[in-house]
Amino acid sequence: MQQFLRDYLELHGYWVLFLWTFLEGEAGLILAGFLAFQGYLNIFGVILTALAGSFCGDQFYFYLGRWQGRRLLKVFTSIAKKFQKALKLIEKYGTFVAFISRFTYGFRIILPIILGMTNLSAMKFCGLNLLSALCWSIIFSLAGFLFGKSASLFVEDVSRYEPYLMLALIALIGCMWLSHFVHAWWRRRPARKRLSRMKSRTSGNAR
């Protein structure tokens, strides 16, 4: 099993990671960092691949917003719904949003598209995007690598328990995702309460 995984990752690991980080990414990048600790991948190769994928991804979304942003707002309601929130972030933090966009859950793709629709220069975005991609790729690659390093302090033979450690890491990432959904649901809860109260008042007045 380990030999099959090693052979597969040697052939496909880096281009799969590139596509993963191009589209989204931290979960796959953390796993890649752990696999680098196990020797299936090279940690510097993981960081460089993630840097390239995330940088190219945000450059693509930026120019997509610059050329087709208005059309995307009309076609995709999910983008239109987040448009005003994204604008508020841009108004509050300015061009710094170009740096933090990939660290904001739920706005990873939306923010570069919206930034492409603003008057932010392409060169300035490119520089901020490169710096952000570098920080992001190092942080999450090392998160997975250090997870394996920490496990080795408690487990003598990490390779023996590798499947269980990978499952534990996936479960940890799943909990992080779930916390985002719960937080988003909790923030919308007061709005839903207000809406239900308004409906009950309206129905009461109609009677």
Question: What are 5-36's pLDDT values in tens digits?
Answer: 667 777 788 998 999 899 877 888 988 998 89
Split into its structural domains, the chain has a count of 1
* 67 domain residue, yes or no: yes
Distance of CA 198 to the CA centre of its chain: 36
* 33 domain residue, yes or no: yes
Of the listed ranges 59-73, 106-120, 187-201, the one predicted with least confidence: 187-201
The DSSP H or E segment spanning 144 is: helix 122-154
Structure tokens given for 27: 């979960």
* 204 domain residue, yes or no: no
* 183 domain residue, yes or no: no
pTM confidence score: 0.75
Of the listed ranges 53-67, 114-128, 149-163, the one predicted with least confidence: 149-163
* 103 domain residue, yes or no: yes
* 199 domain residue, yes or no: no
Pairwise CA distance, residues 107 & 93, whole Å: 14
Residue 200 has pLDDT above 60, yes or no: no
pLDDT of residue 167: 76
Residue 49 has pLDDT above 70, yes or no: yes
What range defines the domain where residue 16 resides? 2-161
Q: What is the mean pLDDT of the chain?
A: 79
* 206 domain residue, yes or no: no
Of the listed ranges 1-10, 67-76, 139-148, 165-174, the one predicted with least confidence: 1-10
Residue 175 has pLDDT above 60, yes or no: yes
